[in-house]
């Protein structure tokens, strides 16, 4: 398995595409582009360029089947997210996880079930559990 810490970082648009790629074992440019259209307008050529860059960076691998290219992630989502969030906390919050949590709590209202899940995560983290 590829270590995401050794890979180039992802742009916001690349991360958006990666979330689509992670949701399926394999996908095509057309499928990715169609799903993106449900969220925001992006030219098909732009999606192709972003996919090419993801392949170059090692985040995605491709296989050709005739004229159609199929894409799949080389790094599992959970590994990549740990790295992305860790880098974000280091850069934006000077390494403070508390700063990240406080910013999240200040910026949006949480539902009671979310609060309970977060509490359980904190308790488990204090016990050294995952």
Per residue in 44-65, pLDDT (tens digit) is 999 999 999 999 999 999 999 9
**Position of tokens 């949590």?**
101
pLDDT number for residue 1: 59
The pTM score is 0.79
Residues 25-59, buried b or exposed e (16+ Cβ, 10 A)? eebbbeebbebbeeeeebeeeebeebbebbeeeeb
| pLDDT tens-place string over residues 71-98 | 999 999 999 998 889 888 999 999 998 9
Q: Where in the chain is the domain with CATH 1.10.10.10?
A: 9-73
Q: What CA–CA distance (Å, rounded) separates 35 from 27?
A: 11
The answer on pLDDT for 3 being more than 80 is no
CATH architecture of 9-73: Orthogonal Bundle (1.10)
Sign of CA dihedral 33, 22, 40, 34: positive
């Amino acid at each position: 398995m590829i270590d995401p810490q050794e890979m180039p970082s992802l742009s916001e648009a690349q991360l958006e595409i990666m979330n689509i790629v992670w949701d399926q074992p394999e996908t095509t440019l057309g499928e990715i582009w169609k799903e993106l259209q449900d969220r925001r307008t992006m030219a098909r050529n732009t999606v192709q360029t972003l996919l090419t860059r993801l392949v170059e960076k090692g985040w995605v691998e491709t296989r050709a089947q005739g004229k159609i290219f199929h894409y799949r992630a080389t790094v599992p989502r959970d590994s990549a997210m740990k790295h992305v969030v860790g880098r974000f906390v280091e850069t934006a919050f000077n390494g403070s996880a508390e700063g990240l949590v406080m910013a999240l709590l200040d910026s949006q209202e949480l539902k009671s079930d979310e609060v309970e899940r977060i509490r359980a995560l904190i308790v488990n983290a204090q016990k050294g559990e995952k």
